[in-house]
Amino acid sequence: MTQAPQATNAGSAACPGSAKALVFDYRQAANPIRHGLTEPMREHRWGAALHAHGPTAVLPLDLSAELGCEGPATSPALSANFIRILAGEAIEVSAKATSQLFYVWRGAGSCRRPADGLGNEFNQPWNAGDLFVLPAGGPARLEASAESVLYWVHDAPLLSFLGVTATQPRFEATHYPGPWLRQELETLAADPSSARSNRLSLLMANRDLPASRTVTHTLWAMLGLVPDGAVQPPHRHQSVALDLVIDCDPGCATLSGSELNGDGTIRNPVRMDWEPGAAFVTPPGLWHSHVNESGRSSMLLPIQDAGLHTYLRSLDIRFS
Ligand SMILES: [Fe+2]
């Protein structure tokens, strides 16, 4: 004779004879993104003071306690960090990740990484403004010839959630020299079609990843110039943005919120004021817009998990 199911939670029932099996009334479980279950994401900001002084170290932008996941994690899928390296010193960095992105915010040095699973070594000098990406593989050694600060984003939190280890490099380690990126941005700014644009941006891509047009198969990176006087119309996407402010004067900010007003502006926006070297998080699905009232152009580097969302066909990017 079977026992009557036991209630363990409002709207749920346990299964007699199967310790883990449980069912929920659809209405109790259809949207578990709420406080106490799967925590919703909130905006967050870190000032440049975080990496202005101190010894050689990795400084994680860790929201794992808030997210209820293994840390360090800045979003459910990604971990953003600053790496401070004193002149003449080195640090070994390692992440159980499919993709690692490094942006040199200031300084100079080199990166050495032994051959990955495809037999590719990476020995690369870097300077301020350079960006480089590494696929799955072993630790990388960063040596600094001048005091340096790098922004480092990887997808270890995603792999940790899946309970997997990355074994197969999906792209070749790639270096994007800063002078080349700036030159391409200047070329874009000089194009007549850019004259009235309030967004001049380059999306980093890789010949190994023709379908997604992203910097790695999970990560997306944009070098964006926000001209003086720009008030961008809001847009939104399901990817999370981990933004680094590269350069600005006071008067630049990102506004975000869940709803639009009738005129297309964001209702009751949260304002993230920019500062060179600051980082901030834009949660998934929020309308957001960058504004510049500073008197000169500013530069932003958003990193997103939009490579992954593109593959899943869940990016859902929309413009107001
Ligand atoms: Fe965005």
Centroid of ligand 1 to alpha carbon of 114 (angstroms): 35
Centroid of ligand 1 to alpha carbon of 242 (angstroms): 10
Q: Taking residues 144-157, what's their average pLDDT?
A: 98
Q: Taking residues 9-15, what's their average pLDDT?
A: 86
Centroid of ligand 1 to alpha carbon of 258 (angstroms): 13
Centroid of ligand 1 to alpha carbon of 51 (angstroms): 25
Centroid of ligand 1 to alpha carbon of 87 (angstroms): 35
Which architecture does CATH list for 44-319?
A: Sandwich (2.60)
The pLDDT value given to residue 1:
40
Centroid of ligand 1 to alpha carbon of 288 (angstroms): 7
- Residue 248 is encoded by which pair of tokens? 């600005």
Centroid of ligand 1 to alpha carbon of 24 (angstroms): 35
The 3-state DSSP composition of the chain as helix, strand, coil percent (nearest 5) reads 15, 40, 45
Q: Taking residues 8-28, what's their average pLDDT?
A: 89
C-alpha angle 53/96/139, rounded to 5°?
Answer: 60
Sorting pLDDT into bands at 50, 70 and 90, what band is 4?
Answer: very low
Centroid of ligand 1 to alpha carbon of 251 (angstroms): 19
Which residue, among 56, 63, 78, 71, has the nearest Cα to 239 in the 3D structure?
Answer: 78
Centroid of ligand 1 to alpha carbon of 300 (angstroms): 11
Centroid of ligand 1 to alpha carbon of 19 (angstroms): 44
CA–CA distance, 14 with 23 (Å, rounded to integer) = 7
Centroid of ligand 1 to alpha carbon of 95 (angstroms): 26
CA atoms within 13 A on the CB side of 84: 14
The pLDDT value given to residue 10:
76
Centroid of ligand 1 to alpha carbon of 152 (angstroms): 19
Centroid of ligand 1 to alpha carbon of 247 (angstroms): 18
CA–CA distance, 58 with 151 (Å, rounded to integer) = 10
Centroid of ligand 1 to alpha carbon of 287 (angstroms): 8
Centroid of ligand 1 to alpha carbon of 262 (angstroms): 21
Centroid of ligand 1 to alpha carbon of 173 (angstroms): 26
The pLDDT value given to residue 247:
98
Mean pLDDT of the chain: 95
The pLDDT value given to residue 117:
86
For residue 184, report the phi and psi dihedrals to the nearest 5 degrees.
-65, -35
Sorting pLDDT into bands at 50, 70 and 90, what band is 5?
Answer: very low
- Residue 48 above 90 pLDDT? yes
Centroid of ligand 1 to alpha carbon of 46 (angstroms): 18
- Residue 12 above 60 pLDDT? yes
What's the Cα-to-Cα distance from 250 to each of 24, 268, 276, 296, 297, rounded to whole Å? 51, 22, 9, 10, 11
Q: Taking residues 186-199, what's their average pLDDT?
A: 87
- Residue 6 above 80 pLDDT? no
Sorting pLDDT into bands at 50, 70 and 90, what band is 8?
Answer: low
- Residue 184 above 60 pLDDT? yes
Centroid of ligand 1 to alpha carbon of 237 (angstroms): 7
